Amino acid sequence: MLQHQAERFAKAKCFFAFFFSLLTAFLFLASLSQPAESQTYKVIYNFTGEGGDGASPYGGPNLDPSGNLYGTTYAGGEFGAGNVYKLAPDGSSWKYSTLYSFTGELDGDGPGFGTLAVYNDVLFGTTEGGGYLGVAFKVGRSENGWRENVVHSFGQGTDGNEPIGGVVIDKAGNVYGTTLLGGTYGYGTVYQVTQSGVERVIYSFTGGSDAVNPGAAVTLDAEGNLYGTTSFGGAYGDGAVYKLSPAGDRWKETVLYSFRNLNDGQNPVGGLVLDKAGNLYGGTFDGGANGGGTVYELSPSGGKWKLSILYSFTGGYGGPYNKLTFDTAGNLYGATNGEGANGFGMVFKLAPRNGDWTFTDLYDFVGGSDGGIPYGSLAIDAQGDIFGTTNIGGSDNQGVVFEITP
């Protein structure tokens, strides 16, 4: 049995590597950006990949009301299959704790790009491998520390496989997420897991002009509708934005927008955020007027959806890879996977002003000890401090957690 699991893990890793390399080709092409605004940047934790420590934090951190950060690493941990960690403020520094190390077997292997979701003080997420072909998991406190439970193990029948994007949870505690592959047609799924642990596929992507292969988690609105992106598929094959609406015991899928690889961009990998008016915001990894990806807004208008480009990045591949983040004032923040002044990515801000948006480059990664190539989303506290992760760099080149103070 373990041999079969190892073969499945290897196949999953191979596809992840293919997906990863496809979207990051030409990542280090020279690029230009807006001048960086003066900020205070510091690394608050260096991953080492040794002694149970994590490595390669693809996902961004989750910030709780007490100022603690929770996240995952794709590799490292006690068994090399990644971990769940906590960073707690400790005076002028931070205290690091490994909450759980994945074994790479039935409990999961390799948490991907999704930020952890929190429900009733329990952390929820997904791993690309482990189980059969990936798992949805939860980690919560127990008498002996922290304990992990598998919410669902994927890869059995048409339930989907390789859930790399994380989950979202509704008010009733139901878990929603996506799988990159599998389902009825092999193009990925959107699934639901109820509080009682029953998993069902609420949509299987069909191929053709439909959105296909969702890498990001869905976003939930107040009416229970789900929104998401796929980096491929759509009418032109360059990715799409979709909506799933509950209709009795079923869900109705609508493709809201298909990217054309023109000024609108292509490969919207990272998912969406909603504002209070119901507008959707996201980024594309590639394309746009300047070739380096875009930040876009989709607004409902007369029964349809209108796309507006808020900003076009300059360069090759390497635009925003994950969800954007709002602060309390309505400003948008994100990170590019590459580009920036040094080709290692940047952290940026878009501020709405008089119907337009003003772009500011907050920080350009230089690689080396400060980190580089961020994949995860950002977290912002009430004071405007920005927290995130980079996949490389730091003291041991295993990635870092950083803080940017305005």
As a dihedral over the C-alpha atoms of residue 169, residue 258, residue 211, residue 31, rounded to 10 degrees, the angle is: -80
> What whole-number percentage of the chain has pLDDT above 70?
91
**Measured distance CA(104)–CA(126) in Å, rounded:** 13
Q: State residue 159's pLDDT score.
A: 96
The gap from C-alpha 228 to its chain's centroid, in whole angstroms, comes to: 11
Q: Which CATH number fits domain 2-28+48-336+348-364: 3.40.50.1400, 2.120.10.30, 3.40.50.2300, 3.40.50.1820?
A: 2.120.10.30
Query: What are the pLDDT digits (tens) for 167-180?
Result: 999 999 999 999 99
User: What pTM, to 2 d.p., does this model score?
Assistant: 0.91
Query: What are the pLDDT digits (tens) for 124-160?
Result: 999 999 999 999 999 999 988 899 999 999 999 999 9
Confidence band (pLDDT; 50, 70, 90) for 28? very low
Pairing type for strands 122-129 and 135-142 reads: antiparallel
The two tokens of residue 71 are: 């996240």
As a dihedral over the C-alpha atoms of residue 303, residue 188, residue 228, residue 301, rounded to 10 degrees, the angle is: -10
3-state secondary structure of 8: helix
**Measured distance CA(33)–CA(361) in Å, rounded:** 7
Confidence band (pLDDT; 50, 70, 90) for 3? very low
8 Å CB contact between 347 and 339: no
The CA-CA-CA angle for residues 138, 78, 216, to 5°, reads 45
**Measured distance CA(165)–CA(113) in Å, rounded:** 5
